[in-house]
Amino acid sequence: MKHILLSIIFAFSLSSSLFAEEFILDDSADKQQTEETTNNISVTFLNGKLTIENAPQNSQVEIFSMLGVSVFQATITESKQYFLVDLKKGYYIVKASSLTKKISVK
């Protein structure tokens, strides 16, 4: 079942490859951050703080491990929303409304 979910997530992320890029994050570097914009939706992850801007209200943000396991999910209620997310080292897929983004936390 996990392989099927991972395949679906991977296929979805490939279909969104025009908008998705891989970023390497180093939690020890305070100035390193990632940001990507699709249809004015902005996703930034810096030092455990996930910031979502311009996503439709009541839309969902979800973070998946590379095994396809959902490690974080929340509802976006404001035009600029902050979430504290404790991610261990590894690769993740962030989906916020119509934006899908791959990240690597080191």
Give 13-59 as a 3 state SS string.
Answer: HHHCCCCCCEEEECCCCCCCCEEEEECCEEEEEECCEEEEECCCCCC
Distance CA 17, CA 11 (A): 10
Please, what is the Cα angle at 81 between 37 and 21, to 5 degrees?
A: 25
Which pTM value belongs to this model?
Answer: 0.64
Share of the chain above pLDDT 90, in %: 40
What domains appear along the chain, each with residue ranges and CATH number?
2-105 (2.60.40)
The better pLDDT of the pair 81, 106 is held by: 81
**Rounded average pLDDT over 41-63:** 90
SS3 of 95, please? Answer: strand
**Rounded average pLDDT over 76-87:** 94
Residue 71: the pLDDT is 97
Highest mean pLDDT: which range of 2-11, 60-69, 86-95? 60-69
In single-letter form, the type of residue at position 22 comes to E
